[in-house]
Each structure stands twice: as structure tokens, then as C-alpha cells.
A = this chain, B = another copy of it.
Amino acid sequence: MSRDAVVVGAGLAGSLTAVYLARRGFGVRVLERRGDPRAPGVREEGRSINLGLSQRGIVALREVGLLERLAPLTVPMRGRVVHLADGTLRFQPYGLAEDQILHSVLRHDLNVALVDEAERLGVEFSWGHRVTAVDRAEPAVTTDDGTSHTADLVIGADGAFSAVRAHLGRGLRVDLHQEFLEWGYKELLIPVGDDGGPRTELRALHVWPGDDGLIVAHPNADGSLTATVFLPFDGEHGFAGLTEPERVRSFFARRFPDTLVLIPDVVEQFLAHPPASLVTVRTSPWHVSTDEGRGVVLIGDAAHAVYPFFGQGMNAAFEDCSVLDRCLAAHPHDLPRALAEFEGSRRPHTDVLAELSKRNFVELRDKLRSPLFTARKKVDLALHRVFPNAWVPLYTLITHTTVPYGEALARARRQDRVLGGVTAALTGAALAGLTRRSRNKGRWS
């Protein structure tokens, strides 16, 4: 029995799920509001942000046989380089194991590779068509050219402000939690040096921490890096106050002094574009089924947009595609059951991820300067080195494993309770000794 799927959104989640569906025998059409990302000029105009591919994303790409092909487009990140305000650099390796490496990749390159692969498998793409209605009873999707696309399975992979989600929920008891961070971001390019080589360590994630502003930079394959500056929207030292070139220059000189060297035109770049905002979205239900065994389901940011501070947005979306595919495989003749199982098994974990991503923002912003917090993190890592399997820090569980998010949190909480006892039991002298010993080996997280 041949089945049809319509996927709304040809971004990362949409194009990967199209690949999975095509491999499972679905006839797949993808509807995308934007134009074809492979058209000339798109790369320069599009979102240039690059991403850190970690274990969950890697596993999904390996499942569809794309990992090897993507390797040349990625730059391995073997640790973090922390840039302190006094100019000091500190390198913190992620781990010795080969699977504890992040891979930096341009969103655009990854997207093009996924679209190419989907097309190779027979997926049809309709570019430049906006969704104007979703009829969940069919289900069918109508686009702004008046065409109606009926399918056995409709997938909403159309991002944090999903049109499919909005249409799907009309008249239903839909829970929706949408929260914006009081901080926004701008992207700045750290260009290659005059000698054609990178201006700083390339094989690392760079972080400028701080409670009044943060920068995170990912390396690109051409030797440049893309830096994302996170600042409050409001206030004198927020985006609202930083509109004059002189104020911008003195702000960067004071807070992120080495950026003036790494980004010669930092002021011009900073002032060229308005800041973008950061949103968390949680919603339920994710799916609606029909009595005839068809259905609509949300995946990726449409189902659960998270702040980027745990680096899990794309990785969680890719894991969605993998989990959904396993549910479809488990119930090949019962789509409603597959969708119910997908939502039932997946949503609790992405709800946890949303909370963790908020918490990690607070950690990056406020807690790094708390001596007790830093000491606990270091004890945490020291225990991981002594008991690599029995004791795994939360960051490692989230980033370098595929342990479901909720289980990762539960395990970390059990460890935390022990750790609370450990740090409480350590007297000042003992704590100082332990943290001194682990300082050079510790990594910042």
C-alpha cells in the first residue's frame, strides 16, 4: 500500500523527515514558503548561522546514510576556548573519547545536502508557497496559489511560528506556552586573517561568558568563524542603547576586548542589522488523527522551540525525525497509533529540554561567577573522570549521548543530590585542594 506525505517546511527538520519518509516508501511532497536554498545568491542572503552537531544529530544523519557525505562540510570542535574579559584565553577539551566532539556546520550547507538527498530519493519540493489553511479532517494543506494537497500524513516542520500549528489548533483545546527571552542576538563574521588562515583556534567552540552579554562563535570550513552576540534588548548596554558607533566600540573594547582584533569591522557589522529574538515554545497536542487512519503531526521547532544555549535545537529536531521514523516502523498499518506513540514518548523529553535550555542561559549569564557553583561543576567533572560510566555530568548526557532528555535530567538530579552532600561535606581547605587539582583538566560548561 503506497502512502503519501506532505511536509510543510523545507528547513532542517522538514528536509530530514522527508528523507526518512521517502526511505520508508512514502510519496513525499515538501511545501516551503521560501525559495530553493540552492538558487544563486541565496546563501549570502539567507541565515548564515552555523550549528553544533552533537550526538543526537549525528545518530540521525548516520541512520539515513548522510554522515560521511557531510564530513567535508564540518569542522570538528574538540573543546571550548573561553575568552575572559581581561584577555585571558582558557582551553577546555570536551573529552578524550572520539564521540565527545562537536561538529560545526553551516545551516545552509546542511540544508542543501538534505534537500539534495531528499530529491535523489524522489521527494518533490514546491518552493515559494505559503500555507493558508490546514484541514485536519482530511488532512489537507492549502497553499497561497489555491492548491490543496491531501495526504495520509501531514507533517508541520515549519518552525517556531508554525502555520500548521496555528491552523491545526483552531477550536481544539490546545495548550501553548510561548516565551521570549529579554535578550536578543546578532551575528558577526570573524573573517580569515590577512595570511588566509584562521585568526584564532579553529577546532573549538569559542565562548565569551558574562552576565551582561555573551558571545559564542563556531568555526567555518573556510577558516572564518561566525560569532553570535547575545545581549539584553533594553538598557544602556543592551541593543537599545548600542546604536552609536562610538558606544559600540567602547562597549566591545571593555567587555570583549579581543573581538576588536578578531573582527576589524565589528562596529559596522554590529550596526548593520537589527537584533533577532529568542523564543521558547511548548505546545500540546502535537498530533491529530482521523478515523480513517490519517493524521497531522508537528516536529522540530513547530512542536518545541528552545533557546540555543544548550546547542540542542537542531539536534533535538533531528532526533524527532528519528523517533518518528521508529514509531512509523513499529506500526506500519496504524498511523494514528504511530503518531500517538511519537507524541507520547517524545514530548515529555522535549519539555525537559525546554527547561534545561532556559536554565543553561541562567548558568551562562549568572552562575559562572558563583564560587560554589563552579566548585560543584568541577567536582562533577572530577567524579566523571574517576567513574566515567557511573557518573556522567548533565551536559555530557545531553550533548554526547542519546539518553532521552528526561532520563538525563533524572539521572543528573540523583547525582546532584549526592554532589550537594559532597560539596557540603568538603571543608574550605579540602575543596580548594580538589578544585586546584582539577582546574587544568576541567572544562567549562
Report the separation of the CA atoms of residues A178 and B173 in the bound assembly, to the nearest whole angstrom.
9
The smallest beta-carbon distance between A11 and chain B, in angstroms, is 20
User: Does A174 interact with chain B (Cβ within 8 Å)?
Assistant: yes
User: Does A422 interact with chain B (Cβ within 8 Å)?
Assistant: no
Task: Mark contacts of A242-263 with chain B using CB atoms, 8 A cut-off: 1 yes-contact digit, 0 otherwise.
Answer: 0000000000000000000000
Closest Cβ neighbor of A280 among chain B residues: B175
Report the separation of the CA atoms of residues A175 and B282 in the bound assembly, to the nearest whole angstrom.
12
User: Does A177 interact with chain B (Cβ within 8 Å)?
Assistant: yes
User: Does A334 interact with chain B (Cβ within 8 Å)?
Assistant: no
Report the separation of the CA atoms of residues A178 and B177 in the bound assembly, to the nearest whole angstrom.
6
Report the separation of the CA atoms of residues A277 and B175 in the bound assembly, to the nearest whole angstrom.
12
Name A175's contact: one of B173, B174, B180, B233 (CB within 8 Å).
Answer: B180
Residues of B within 8 A of A279 (CB): 173
Q: Is the CB of A176 within 8 A of B175?
A: no
User: Does A179 interact with chain B (Cβ within 8 Å)?
Assistant: yes
Task: Mark contacts of A31-56 with chain B using CB atoms, 8 A cut-off: 1 yes-contact digit, 0 otherwise.
Answer: 00000000000000000000000000
Residues of B within 8 A of A176 (CB): 176-178
Q: Is the CB of B180 within 8 A of A177?
A: no
Closest Cβ neighbor of A182 among chain B residues: B173
Q: Which residues A162-212 have CB closer than 8 A to chain B?
A: 173-180
Residues of B within 8 A of A233 (CB): 173
Closest Cβ neighbor of A177 among chain B residues: B177
Report the separation of the CA atoms of residues A176 and B179 in the bound assembly, to the nearest whole angstrom.
7
Name A173's contact: one of B173, B174, B177, B277 (CB within 8 Å).
Answer: B277
Report the separation of the CA atoms of residues A240 and B442 in the bound assembly, to the nearest whole angstrom.
57
The smallest beta-carbon distance between A172 and chain B, in angstroms, is 9
The smallest beta-carbon distance between A159 and chain B, in angstroms, is 15
Report the separation of the CA atoms of residues A136 and B196 in the bound assembly, to the nearest whole angstrom.
50
Residues of B within 8 A of A174 (CB): 178, 180
The smallest beta-carbon distance between A300 and chain B, in angstroms, is 20
Report the separation of the CA atoms of residues A102 and B174 in the bound assembly, to the nearest whole angstrom.
33
Task: Give 6 nearest A-B pairs by CB, closest first.
Answer: A173-B180, A176-B178, A175-B179, A177-B177, A173-B277, A175-B180
Q: Which residues of A contact B (CB under 8 A)?
A: 173-180, 233, 277, 279
15 contacts between A and B (CB under 8 A): A173-B180, A173-B233, A173-B277, A173-B279, A174-B178, A174-B180, A175-B178, A175-B179, A175-B180, A176-B176, A176-B177, A176-B178, A177-B177, A177-B178, A177-B179
